[in-house]
Amino acid sequence: MTGEMTVTESRASDAALVARIVQRDESALAALYDRYSGMLSPVLNRILRDSQAAEEILQDIFYQLWRSATQFDASRGSLPGWLLVIGRNRAISRLRRHNPASGEELLENTVVLPTNLESTIAQQQLVGKVKGALDSLPKEQRAAVELAYFEGLTHSEIAERTGDPLGTVKTRLRSAVETLKRNLKT
Amino acid sequence: MSGTHPTREEDFDLYALGALDGDEKAAFEAHLASCASCKMKLAEATGRMAMLALAAPPASPSPGVKERLMRQVLATGRGPIETAAGVAPEKEGIFARWWGLLLPVAGAFALASVLLWLHNEQLNRQIAELRITVDQQQKQIAQAHEIAELMTARDTVVVSLAMQKNQPEGTARVLYNAQHGMLVYDGHLAPTPSGMSYQLWLVPMSGAPISAGVFNPAKGEMNSIMAKVPPGTAAKAFAVTLEPAGGMPAPTGPMILVGPVS
């Protein structure tokens, strides 16, 4: 018996696609866009709450990858990790009207993700795990983490925003990252 | 080395989160600049905190983003265009003197016009080709989004497929939603022997196994299968077998990977 519809595909690794980008292969960039744009778009929209601005940054990140692919060293970190960090930094910069981040980010950041995110399934599984880890935090801790991550606020700025004592905010965030570290282990 | 190592491991995560400020941040950065082991810890913490991005509510970019990106790449980013531009001035310098002697100015303009026209035609062809590619990829994205949404449904199960004894190494996972009859397989397997293919099967609670796809992985590449089976099919297990090239109506070869649905 045969299923009604089947789509199969073989996928090159991130490193192989980056190597093809260095050779000026546009289809490799398109493949990486397909692989990771769906992962980046939610966080850009969550930070900026402006789909047009989020799309501009999304395009900009992948265009930077096209221009700077020779600088990417897979041994120093994972591509999706870099994309997430660069995407968040740029969105926060825009949100807070800082100068846009420079094109040197690919060189400066080393990001080690504890899991391979090259497949859709892996991405979807991690989504569930991260949401579960955040759900496990007490409400105040979760709110503090979200203010730091999605709005780019420091300890002091969170205290100012919420009206809570600085020491309380620090304790909450410290406890939160301890719990997240434990719950996000693979 | 400046300063001492951070005394608390959470400092790496707090720095990666962007929460440190003032003296705390300055001291951390001063130490980090000269400490390789702390840089490594920070890289791990940065990855950990980066994963928080995945908790954001779902949002998909419009298909126009990819189209604009690829146009931007085509218009400004291609190496050969830059190389050609770099070479052009030298040729122009050599020939310009002869043209000044042999051809009237009007002839030079005419030649330049033809060259520009040819270049324009070439660019138009590239844009047309790219548009076709973008259209195809937009359809693929739309399909991928549809499947991704389905696969995040609460009643979707994840099945890990385990390697069988004396069989080639491999790992795979299947996401399956029985209500919608949709499955997604992702796995790594060694290339098949010549004349053979791998075949993925859904083993239902009752009845014959259902083929969910045939594939031949290249070395080092991951294979994905998206397949639809009759909605409401309760699955007992998923399996990958080695079959003659192109697959078989029912499993005949050895089982390479198997995963029961719990």
In this prediction, residue B13 carries a pLDDT of 95
One-letter amino acid identity for A94? Answer: R
Specify which residues B203 forms β-bridges with.
B237
B200 to chain A, minimum CA–CA distance in Å? 10
Whether the predicted model's global pTM rises above the 0.80 cut: no
Among candidate residues B45, B50, B34, the one with its CA nearest the CA of residue B8: B45
Q: Please give the residue of chain A at the shortest CA–CA distance from B8.
A: A174
d(CA A143, CA A59): 30
Mean pLDDT of B164-181: 86
In this prediction, residue B93 carries a pLDDT of 41
Q: Do B13 and A177 touch (CB under 8 A)?
A: yes
Show residues of chain A in contact with B55, CB under 8 Å.
Answer: 127, 130-131, 134
Using a CB–CB cutoff of 8 Å, tell me whether A49 touches chain B.
Answer: no
Listed range (B32-46, B144-158, B233-247) with the worst mean pLDDT: B144-158
Q: Do B213 and A8 touch (CB under 8 A)?
A: yes
Q: Please give the residue of chain B at the shortest CA–CA distance from A178.
A: B10
d(CA A50, CA A183): 31
Are B50 and A85 contacting, i.e. CB atoms less than 8 angstroms apart? yes
| All residues at 6 or more sequence positions from B111 whose CB lies less than 8 Å from its CB, including other chains | B103
In this prediction, residue B89 carries a pLDDT of 37
A121-163 pLDDT, tens digit each: 788 888 889 999 999 999 999 999 999 999 999 999 999 999 9
Burial A30-65 (b: 16+ CB within 10 A, else e): bbbbbbbbbbbbbbbbbbbeeeebbbbbbbbbbbbb
DSSP state of A119: S
Cβ neighbourhood burial of A70 (10 Å; 0-12, 13-18, 19+): exposed
B98 to chain A, minimum CA–CA distance in Å? 36
In this prediction, residue B49 carries a pLDDT of 95
At residue B143 the predicted structure's pLDDT band, cuts being 50, 70 and 90, is: low
**Which of the pair, A7 or B231, is modelled with greater confidence?**
B231
A45, A97, B14, B179 from A153: Cα distances, Å = 17, 13, 11, 43
d(CA B137, CA B61): 13
At residue B99 the predicted structure's pLDDT band, cuts being 50, 70 and 90, is: very low
Show residues of chain B in contact with A171, CB under 8 Å.
Answer: none
Are B5 and B36 contacting, i.e. CB atoms less than 8 angstroms apart? no
**Which of the pair, B234 or A111, is modelled with greater confidence?**
B234
Query: How confident is the prediction along chain A (186 residues), in pLDDT tens digits per residue?
Result: 666 556 655 678 888 899 899 888 899 999 999 999 999 999 999 999 999 999 999 999 999 999 888 887 777 788 999 999 999 999 999 988 765 544 445 445 678 887 778 777 788 888 889 999 999 999 999 999 999 999 999 999 999 999 999 999 999 999 999 999 999 886
Are A113 and B50 contacting, i.e. CB atoms less than 8 angstroms apart? yes
In this prediction, residue B74 carries a pLDDT of 86
B33-57 pLDDT, tens digit each: 888 888 889 999 999 999 999 999 9
Using a CB–CB cutoff of 8 Å, tell me whether A34 touches chain B.
Answer: yes
- SS3 sequence of A146-180: HHHHHHCCCHHHHHHHHCCCHHHHHHHHHHHHHHH
Q: Do B214 and A37 touch (CB under 8 A)?
A: no
CB A9: neighbour CB atoms within 10 A?
Answer: 12
d(CA A74, CA B74): 26
| DSSP per-residue letters across A3-60 | -SEEEEEEE--HHHHHHHHHTT-HHHHHHHHHHHHHHHHHHHHHHH--HHHHHHHHHH
d(CA B259, CA B203): 10
- The helix/strand/coil state of A113 is coil
d(CA A44, CA A51): 8
In this prediction, residue B256 carries a pLDDT of 93
Residue that the structure tokens 């991951």 belong to: B222
Are B232 and B131 contacting, i.e. CB atoms less than 8 angstroms apart? no
Q: Do B55 and A62 touch (CB under 8 A)?
A: no
Residue that the structure tokens 């913490």 belong to: B45
- The helix/strand/coil state of A120 is helix
In this prediction, residue B77 carries a pLDDT of 57
Among candidate residues B26, B8, B5, B22, the one with its CA nearest the CA of residue A171: B8
d(CA B231, CA B233): 6
Mean pLDDT of B189-200: 89
State yes or no: pLDDT of B133 exceeds 60: yes
Mean pLDDT of B104-122: 67
Average pLDDT along chain B:
79
Q: What is the ipTM of this complex?
A: 0.90
State yes or no: pLDDT of B213 exceeds 70: yes
In this prediction, residue B98 carries a pLDDT of 44
